[in-house]
Structure 1
Amino acid sequence: MLMTIDHISIHNPIEDFVDSLADRNLTCYASDLLEQQGCQSLQELSDAVKRATEVCNCMHVPLQENFKVVYRSRNGEVVQDWRLSRMAYLLTALNADSRNAFVAQLQLEMVKQMLHHT
């Protein structure tokens, strides 16, 4: 009988420590945008998170420190969500549908703040 082991999970205290350091900055949930009406559906939210991760990849910002996939209960079913840093939350909101009043207002406020500081 031939057996193979695809993946052996070895407890690595250093990796656990680094993960816990990254996790402490993940204070927001992407699904909060649904509650604030910044996204209208889970698919729209997923697309906004994807665009936000693309921004981070382009700028070499570590994803592990800003995004973490989690699963939560929503209306009696288990759905994918993301724990986000504050920066990742704002990037996700900024990358949602700009025809949405919440998103448009956030974009406008960010531009006003940038112009005010220059």
Structure 2
Amino acid sequence: MTLDHISMHSPIDSFVDSLTDSNLTCYASDLLEQKGCHNLQELCEAVKRATEVCNSMHVPLQENFKVVYRSRNGEVVQDWRLSRMAYLLTALNADSRSNFVAQLQVEMVKQMLRHT
């Protein structure tokens, strides 16, 4: 491989990536701590459903979701950095039997009803 084959990031690309990353302020795994999801498999499903919502509404995934790897209990696990919107979509798509998720859903419905 030569230098000609390596794709160089322009300063503009780097700036846009940094700007996008600065909006990814939440971790999906926070839902595990909030008891919104019981395990990583449930969390993966909630993230998948949230990305499907974004896809159907043509919301750019790269601006709202980023796969990262973090240490958890001594092992490296997949996580996601999320925008606030992506975090809420993920939480709304988690297990509604969770008190955290149920409370969030009720609060969002109340907010919507106040604004109609």
Q: Settle same-fold status: TM greater than 0.5.
A: yes
Mapped to 2, the partners of 1:9 and 1:34 lie a distance apart of: 37
- Report percent identity of matched pairs: 86
Displacement after TM superposition at 1:114 (Å): 0.4
TM-score normalised by the chain length of structure 1: 0.90
- Number of corresponding residues: 113
Q: What 5-or-longer segments of structure 1 have no aligned partner?
A: none
Instruction: Determine if the alignment matches structure 1 residue 117 to structure 2 residue 108.
Output: no
Displacement after TM superposition at 1:53 (Å): 0.6
Q: What 5-or-longer segments of structure 2 have no aligned partner?
A: none
Mapped to 2, the partners of 1:45 and 1:107 lie a distance apart of: 17
Mapped to 2, the partners of 1:8 and 1:80 lie a distance apart of: 27
User: Greater share of helix residues, 1 or 2?
Assistant: 2
> Per-residue CA shift, 1:46-77, capped at 9, x if unaligned?
10001001101110111111110000000000
Tell me what 2:38 maps to: 40
Mapped to 2, the partners of 1:43 and 1:15 lie a distance apart of: 33
SS of residue paired to 1:64:
helix
TM-score normalised by the chain length of structure 2: 0.92
1:16 to 3, 9, 14: 14
Displacement after TM superposition at 1:17 (Å): 1.4
Displacement after TM superposition at 1:102 (Å): 1.2
Displacement after TM superposition at 1:42 (Å): 0.4
Tell me what 1:81 maps to: 79
Mapped to 2, the partners of 1:63 and 1:12 lie a distance apart of: 22
SS of residue paired to 1:16:
helix
Mapped to 1, the partners of 2:9 and 2:45 lie a distance apart of: 33
Root mean square deviation, CA, Å: 1.4
Counterpart residue identity of residue 65, structure 1: E
